[in-house]
Chain A
Amino acid sequence: MAMKIGDKPFFDRVDDALEDNFMRNAMAEAQDGLRGRKLKATVEDEQIGDWEEWRSAGEEIRRHTLENLDYYLNQLSENFARQGGHVYFAETAEDATRYIQDVAKKKNAKKITKAKSMVTEEIGLNQALEEIGCDVYETDLAEYILQIDDHDRPSHIVVPSLHKNKEKIRDTFRDKANYTGTSEPCELTAFARSQLRETFLEADIGVTGCNFAVAESGTISLVTNEGNANMVTTFPKTQITVMGMERLVPTWEELDVMINLLSRSAVGQKITTYVTNLTPQLEEDSIDAPNEFHLVILDAGRSNALGTEFQSALHCIRCAACVNVCPVYRHIGGHAYGSIYQGPIGAVLSPILGGYEEYGELPYASSLCAACTEACPVKIPLHEHLIKHRENYVEKKGMTAEKMAMKTFGIGASSPALFKLAVKGMPAVLGPLVKDDSISSGPGPMKLWTSVREFPAPGKGNFRKWFDDHKKGRNQ
C-alpha cells in the first residue's frame, strides 16, 4: 500500500485508464468544475486585488521557509513541547508508523478516527494500525467511500474518490454497509453522517494530517469543509498529527496568506468552512479537547530535494491546482500515475520521494505545456522540474532506446555520406508499412506513437534533390 498504487508498468496502467470511459468523463467534468471555481475565486475576484501579487507573496514565504527549514522546525518543536505536546521526528515512513503504533499500544486504543490526510496514506498508517488490532475509521466522505469499497486508492489529492459516480457509491454502501437508500448525494451523505456519528464520540485516538504548522506558536492548522476534522480533534483524548516536514510557516501572518492561497486554489472558496488551529494547551480535565497531543514530523525522502534544483517542489501546499489543469491527467486519471500523488506535482514529487526506479517514467506523463506552472499558487516551475527529471532519468538509465536513437542520429548526422544514405533509404525501409501515405503500425520507437495516431510516410523525393532542382531552375 503506502505511496504506490498497483503493480502494473506505467504504460499498462495508462492503457487501462484510456479504456475507462466513465473515469475519463468524470475527470474531465471534475477538472472543468474545479478549474472554473478556482478562476472565479482568484483572477476573477476583484475583492482580493491582483492574484499575481498573492502568488508572489506565497512564493516568497515558501522560499524563505524552506531555505531556513532547520530553524523553523526547531522552533516549532520547542514551542509544541513547551505546551505539553510530544514531537517525534521520523526519518522514514517505518519510523513514523512504529512510533504511532507504540502510542496506540500504550493507550490501549481500539477505535481510531482519521481526518483526510495524504501523508498518512503515504506512510500506510491505516494498515500499520490495523496490524496491531485497531479499528481505523476514515471520516472524510471521499476517504470513507474508498475505505468501505475494499480500501480503494485515491485518484485526486483533494477529492480522492473522484473516479466513482453516485450509482457506484450507492452500490458500495448497499453491499458493504446495508444501505437501502437512493443514489442522491444528499441521502448518501446523510447515511455517512449517521454511520460515523457515534464513532466520533467513542474513538480513543484521533489522527490528522497537517495543512500548515505555525512555528512561532506550535500550532497545527487544518483546512476542511465537512466538520469531520473537528470531530476527530475534539472528542478522542489523544490526538496524533502527522506532517510532512516542509508544511510549516514562520508565524500567523504567513499562515493567513497560505490559507487564502490554499482555499481559493483547491476548492474555489474564499476560505474553507473550517480553519481549525490547534495548540497543545493541554488540560487534564478537558471535556471536549484532547489531553495528549503527538506531532510526527516526517522526512521520508523529502530531504532528497533540499539543496538541489528540486527544492522548490517542497513549496507545494497540496491544492491540486496543477492537477486540475493538466491535459494528461484529464485523459489518464489518477490511478495511472501509480502514486497517491498524481498530476504534475505527483510526477515531480513521486520520483523525489520514491526514486527513479519506481517513478522515473512519471515525468513523461506531461505535454510540457506549462499550464501547471501557470496554475500553481506558489509559482513552482513544475514543467521545468519535469524536464530535469527526464534528463536525470535518461542519464541514470544509461543506454535507453531514446538515447540509442539519438546516438544513432548523431553518428548519421555527423557523416554526410551516411546521412545521404539514410535519407535516400528511408522510403525503401518503411515502404512495406506504408498504406495510403501513412504508417499505422510502426516498429520500435515508432510503436508508441502509432498506437494512438498515424505517422506520415516519408516523402518519395528528398530535400537535397528538390533543392538542387530548384537551384537549377532559378539559374536557368
Chain B
Amino acid sequence: MAVGTIHNKDAFINKISSKLGRDRNESVILPKWEHRPQFEVLKGASSDELAAAFKNNSLEKSTYVVETDAKNLASALEKVIEKYGGGQLVASNDQRFTEYGLDELLKQTKAHVWNPVLGEENIAVTKKANIGMFFSDAALAESGTVVQFNDKDIARSISLLPMAYVSIIPKSTIVPRMTQVAQAIHKSVEEGNNLATCINFISGPSNSADIEMNIVIGVHGPVEAVHVIVNDM
C-alpha cells in the first residue's frame, strides 16, 4: 500500500502549539480517566441477560428478532426469507455460512454470494436484491446493534442496498455495549494491527425524522431489518 501525502502540517500545528502557549508537544501520556461510567452498563450480565437486552433493544428499533440454535438456523432463515417476500438474496463471502451449514440454503435460494472477482457485477445484483444476509462480528446489548468489519469479501453493500438486511448473530458475540468493542479495537491498534477499512455499527433499518419530526422508517438504506440470534454456547 502506497503511503499518502500530508500538506502544510508543520506550520498549522506549530501555530496551535504557539496559541496554547508552549512548544510543540512531541509526547503525551493518556491520563487515567476519573470518570468511567461506560464500564458500569450491564456490568456482570449473563449471556442470557445480554441476549434478552439485545432482543428488546432491537425490537425498539423496529427490527424483527428471531431466536434459534445452530441446528435450526437454516430453517429459521428460510422462514425469514419467506416472510420478507423471497426474491434475490445476496450474502457476504464469509466462511461462517459453511461452518453453520448454510451452503445448501444459499444454493436453494439461488443467492448471490459476493465475489470480488466479479467486480461491478456484485453491485448490479445487490442494488436489485430484496435481502442482504451477513454475519455480525459483534453485537451490542444496550442498543440492539450489530457490528460489521467490512473488507473485500464482507462487502459494505450487503447491509446497505437491499430492501431488508438479515444479520446472523452468534449469541456468544453479544457484549454489553460499544465499550467492549472499542476496547478490543484499541488493543488491536496498540498491537500494531491495521483496522478494517470500514467498521460499521448498524442498529435497525435506516430512518429519518427530518420532516416535522415524524419518524419515517426506510430512507436510503434498508427499509426492514432482521436480527437472528443463534445460540452457539
Interface set of A (CB-CB < 8 Å, partner B) = 26, 29-30, 33-34, 47-50, 53-54, 56-57, 60-61, 64, 67-74, 77-78, 80-91, 95, 99, 139-142, 145, 159, 161, 165-166, 169, 185-186, 188-190, 192-193, 196-197, 200-201, 216-217, 219, 225-228, 230-231, 233-235, 245, 250-253, 255-257, 259-260, 267, 269-283, 285-289, 293, 297, 299, 303, 306-307
Q: Mark B176-211, 1 if CB is under 8 A from A, else 0.
A: 011100110110011000111111111111111111
Q: Which of B42, B127, B189, B220 contacts A139 (CB 8 A)?
A: B220
A252 and B185 within 8 A (CB):
yes
Q: Give the distance to chain B from A147, nearest Cβ to Cβ, in Å.
A: 13
Q: A69-B20, A271-B201, A287-B122 are in contact. Are A87 and B155 (CB under 8 A)?
A: no
A85 and B4 within 8 A (CB):
yes
Give Cα A281 to B151, complex, Å: 9
Please, which residues of chain A bring their CB within 8 A of the CB of B37? Answer: 48-50, 53-54, 57
Max chain B CB contacts within 10 Å: which of A69, A84, A230, A267? A230
Task: Pick the interface stretch among B68-76, B99-107, B139-147.
Answer: B139-147
Main secondary structure of the interface of B (DSSP, over half): loop
B127 and A201 within 8 A (CB):
yes
Please, which residues of chain B bring their CB within 8 A of the CB of A82? Answer: 3-4
Q: Mark B1-15, 1 if CB is under 8 A from A, else 0.
A: 111111111011111
Chain B contact patch, size range: 35 or more
5 pairs from A and B in contact (CB 8 Å cutoff): A225-B206, A256-B178, A267-B209, A274-B200, A287-B116
Q: Which of B30, B160, B202 contacts A234 (CB 8 A)?
A: B160
Give Cα A227 to B161, complex, Å: 9
A299 and B12 within 8 A (CB):
yes
B216 and A227 within 8 A (CB):
no
Q: Which of B12, B198, B210 contacts A161 (CB 8 A)?
A: B210
Q: A185-B211, A185-B216, A303-B15 are in contact. Are A255 and B3 (CB under 8 A)?
A: no
Give Cα A307 to B120, complex, Å: 51
B182 and A288 within 8 A (CB):
no
Give Cα A70 to B206, complex, Å: 37
Q: Mark B123-162, 1 if CB is under 8 A from A, else 0.
A: 1000100000000000010110100001010011100100
A78-B6, A234-B198 given; name 18 further pairs at CB < 8 Å. Answer: A48-B37, A54-B37, A60-B34, A71-B24, A89-B6, A139-B220, A141-B210, A169-B211, A219-B195, A226-B221, A230-B221, A233-B198, A260-B178, A270-B57, A271-B203, A273-B202, A281-B196, A287-B155
Please, which residues of chain A bring their CB within 8 A of the CB of B208? Answer: 141-142, 189, 225-226
Q: A250-B30, A299-B12 are in contact. Are A57 and B206 (CB under 8 A)?
A: no
B211 and A188 within 8 A (CB):
yes
Q: Which of B6, B33, B199 contacts A77 (CB 8 A)?
A: B6
Please, which residues of chain B bring their CB within 8 A of the CB of A277? Answer: 195, 198-201
Name the CB-closest residue of B to A29: B213
Q: Give the distance to chain A from B2, nearest Cβ to Cβ, in Å.
A: 6
Interface set of B (CB-CB < 8 Å, partner A) = 1-9, 11-17, 19-21, 24-28, 30-31, 33-38, 40-42, 57, 61, 116, 119-120, 122-123, 127, 140, 142-143, 145, 150, 152, 155-157, 160, 177-179, 182-183, 185-186, 189-190, 194-214, 216, 218-222
